[in-house]
Amino acid sequence: MRFDVAAIAIFAAMVLDGMDGRVARITNTQSAFGEQYDSLSDMTSFGVAPALVMYEWILHDLGKWGWLAAFVYCTCAALRLARFNANIGVVDKRFFQGLPSPAAAALIAGFVWLVIDNKLPVKELWMPWVAFGITLYAGLSMVSNAPFYSGKALDVRYRVPFGMMVLVLVLFVLVSTDPPVALFALFVAYAISGYVLWGWRAITASRGVARKSRENGSH
C-alpha cells in the first residue's frame, strides 16, 4: 500500500480545508448545512484517515496497544471538533484551545511521509513505539487546554506585515527543498508551541501573584 501517498493526501485535505470557508464567504454561499458538512469532512480527513493510515502502516505491529492509540486519536479528534463548534464566539480567536485537528493530522501524516521517504528502519522494534507516542501525543493534545496560535489576528485582506511576508517566503523555500522533513519539523514545532506558551503564561501568572503578595505585605 502507498502510505506515503495517503499522507500527502492528508496534507492536500489541509490546504482545501483552509480554502473552503474563504470560498464560501467570497461567493456568499455560507449555510448551516455547509457548517455541519465541513465538520463531518474534518472528522473524516483529520480524525479517521490519520488514525487508519497510522494503524495500517505500523501500529498494528503493537497489537492491542496500536489499536488503542488509533482509537484514542480518533476519539479525541471527534471531541476536539465538538468542543470547537461549541466554543465559537466564546474563546479568544487569536488562539485555539488545544491542538487543531488539521495540525494533529499533519503531525501523523508528516511522520509517515518522513519515514517512508527517507527509508528509515520501519522494522526496528522501537519504530512502532515512536509512532505510538506521536499518535497519543497528537490525540491528547487536541483535547488539552493548551493555547495554540491561530493566526486569525492577521487580516490579510487589507494589509500583511512585511515580516510575515518574509517568514512565509522562507517557509516556502524550506518546504520546497525537502517537503517531508520540513513539514514534519514545522508541525512538531507547532505542536510543542502551545505547551511552551501555556507554561510561560503559568510562570508569568505565578510571578504576578508573588509580586502582588510582596506589595501587599510591604504596606
Mean pLDDT of 167-185: 83
pLDDT in tens, 68-99: 999 999 999 999 998 888 877 666 778 899 99
Which is higher by pLDDT, 19 or 136? Answer: 136
Average pLDDT, the chain: 87
Residue spans of the domains in the chain: they are 3-218
pLDDT in tens, 49-72: 999 999 999 999 999 999 999 999
CATH of domain 3-218: 1.20.120
pLDDT in tens, 29-39: 888 787 788 88
Handedness of CA 17, 80, 206, 203 (dihedral sign): negative
Q: Is the pTM of this model over 0.75?
A: yes
Residue 204 CB burial class (10 angstroms; 0-12, 13-18, ≥19): exposed
| Closest of 106, 98, 100 to residue 183, by C-alpha | 106
pLDDT in tens, 97-135: 999 999 999 999 999 999 999 999 888 889 999 999 999
pLDDT at 155: 53
Is residue 47 within 8 A of residue 81, CB to CB? The reply is yes
- Judge whether residue 153 has pLDDT over 80: no
Q: How far apart are CA 111 and CA 180, in angstroms?
A: 8
pLDDT at 77: 96
Q: Where residue 164 falls among pLDDT bands split at 50, 70, 90?
A: low
